[in-house]
Structure 1
Amino acid sequence: IGNARKVLAQAEEIARERQPTVEVSTEVMTGTPAAVLREQAGDATELVVGSRGLGGFAGAVLGSVSMNVAGQVPVPVVVVRPRTAVAHGEIVVGLDGSPTCEPALAYAFGQAELRGSTLRAVYAWALPFALAAGFSCDFEALREAQQRVAEEQLASWRERYPRVKVIADVRCAHPVNALAAAGDRADLLVVGSHGRSAIGSIVLGSVSRGVLHHAHCTVTVVRAKDAPTPA
């Protein structure tokens, strides 16, 4: 208990030094870290955790606490990577054309406006089996169709956040690869999570999990019900 209080005191001192206008409170609790954080998240707006994993394709390991809270609490979970000296001025958000990623878009647009950052919306699509197998297909028509899907989903958000510069980044690639690559030039990467197990409980979706493993920047995982769609 004594060591825990010492750690909290140091953390509080750092927080007050960097953000003196922010109200800070600390509490020592007993229990498994992931379980305690999940329980406390019910009264929070956002949950922020660190990442002790290596990250990157050379060592795709993420701390167990991060993996056990991301996507499993009712609020956005921010997994913070070690800070770098370079600020990119860009936020990346994953886009898939479905309503389930709308909350992630709401969070990303809000952060982009708050920070004055450019928002890069990454939409990754896969080649149809016939084209991948070498059959003739109009690749350019397919690409244009996917571009339209991305632009249509972004349209209402562009209207709601006119001051945010938006880049629709449409790629023929696996979503995890596309998002992790875009994250290399971003300050924050936002992904949605709407995976469910066979018995209906919330689990971390495969794309969200892959991004958490491989991205080098800070990642926010937003549950499908965490934010409203634009009016």
Structure 2
Amino acid sequence: MIGDEILVGYDGSTDATLALDWALDEAQRGGGRPVRLAYVFEWLTVAGWIGPGVAPGIWPDETARRQVEELVHKAVADAVAQRPGVTVHGEVYDGPPALVLQERSADAGLLVLGSRGHGGFAGLLAGSTAVAVTAHAHCPVVVVRAGQATGAGPVVVGVDGSESSRVALGFAVESAAQRRVPLRVVRVVAPPAGRRRPSDHDEQATVAGERAAVEESLAPWRDTFPNVDVDIEVAPGNPAAALVEASRGAQLVVVGSRGLGGLRGMLLGSVSQQLLQHSSCPVVVARER
């Protein structure tokens, strides 16, 4: 089923290969979900374009395209050999990478990207491409970076009471159940801007109220997945710093595509960028399809 397909942005780079490995593991956990590699590039009109097998300063030709197709074909063959129970396909697309990936995500259940690439994905997280893909994709997006933990540890989710964070919570609970690991729910209460520090009594009351709200959001998921151990952490502080810290020792951290309160502007401000750049594990930007 197309809606179950895992789409992988692939260009042969180290991080793209890690993203593919992550996607193949996820496919196996999901009962053999199909995986599709998408190599996207746009031919630049300036000397110095660099792609697999293409020397700088020349116009790309049929030979260059054939080399790209061979790269994708080999990646697919290697993936099938490593995961014989997973169906893997590969496609080469022309056009702006962010736009093409956004369009293709409409037919996918999950989009997986490496945090750094070459060719069509150069500077993926340094400019507008990553922001556009994570903000406007039609399905959840996973960003994987070299050096991150992908094995042991809990699934972490950042919540703030918004509808978007409820979607993230659902994704995180299901991921924890599928992986058979604990779930850590993090609610960071950012201090009010321009106000004096609240008293200890007020702070404790705020934390207690937020914890009750988190428990209420969790109730239906506890009923659906009673075997998932859940740890709730509610505290005042900096949302970005708290989520980056929580990612240490985790195997996945999940956030919503839009938030309020402590996660306001999740994809437009410093919180998401710090998490994508500094998380110690892969990051999921969850959204409803």
Superposition CA RMSD, Å: 2.6
Which residue pairs with 2:267 in the alignment? 204
Alpha carbons 2:247, 2:253 under 8 Å: kept: yes
Residues 37 and 112 of structure 1: is their aligned pair in 2 closer, same or farther, counting only changes over 3 Å? same
Of 149-158 and 133-142, the range deviating more from structure 2: 133-142
Q: Which moved more, 1:202-211 or 1:100-109?
A: 202-211
Distance 1:185 1:218 in 2: 11
The whole-number CA distance in structure 2 between the counterparts of 1:82 and 1:26 is 22
Match of 1:99 in 2: 163
Larger radius of gyration: 2
Unaligned runs of 5+ in 1: 54-60, 196-201, 227-231
TM-score by length of 2: 0.66
Q: 1:171·1:178 contact (CA, 8 Å) conserved in 2? A: no
Q: Confirm or deny that 1:122 pairs with 2:207.
A: no
Q: Deviations over 1:11-62 (max 9, x none)?
A: 2133112321111111111112212111111111111111118xxxxxxx93
Q: Which runs of 5+ in 2 are unaligned?
A: 1-64, 118-123, 260-264
Give the % identical residues: 37
Relative to 1, partners in 2 of residues 1:124 and 1:26: Cα closer, same or farther, differing over 3 Å?
Answer: same
In the aligned structure 2, how far is the partner of 1:85 from the partner of 1:203?
A: 23
Aligned match for 2:196, one of 120, 124, 133: 133
The offset of 1:98, in angstroms, is 2.4
Is 2:94 the partner of 1:30?
Answer: yes
Distance of aligned partners of 1:102 and 1:203 in 2 relative to their CA distance in 1, 3 Å threshold:
closer
Length, aligned pairs only: 211
**1:24-173 superposed matches below 5 A:** 24-52=88-116, 62-64=125-127, 65-82=129-146, 87-128=151-192, 133-134=196-197, 136-138=199-201, 139-173=203-237
8 Å CA contact retained: 1:123, 1:171: yes
Q: What letter matches 2:267 in structure 1?
A: L
Deviation at 1:204, TM superposition (A): 2.8
Match for 1:39: what amino acid? E
TM-score computed with the length of structure 1 as normaliser: 0.81
- Deviation for aligned residue 1:210: 3.5
Structure 2 counterpart of 1:182, one-letter code: A
Equivalent of 1:175, from 236, 239, 253? 239
Question: Aligned equivalents of 1:203 and 1:171: distance in 2?
Answer: 18
**Cα distance in structure 2, aligned partners of 1:203 and 1:98:** 11
What is the deviation of 1:118? Answer: 0.8
Aligned to 1:229: none
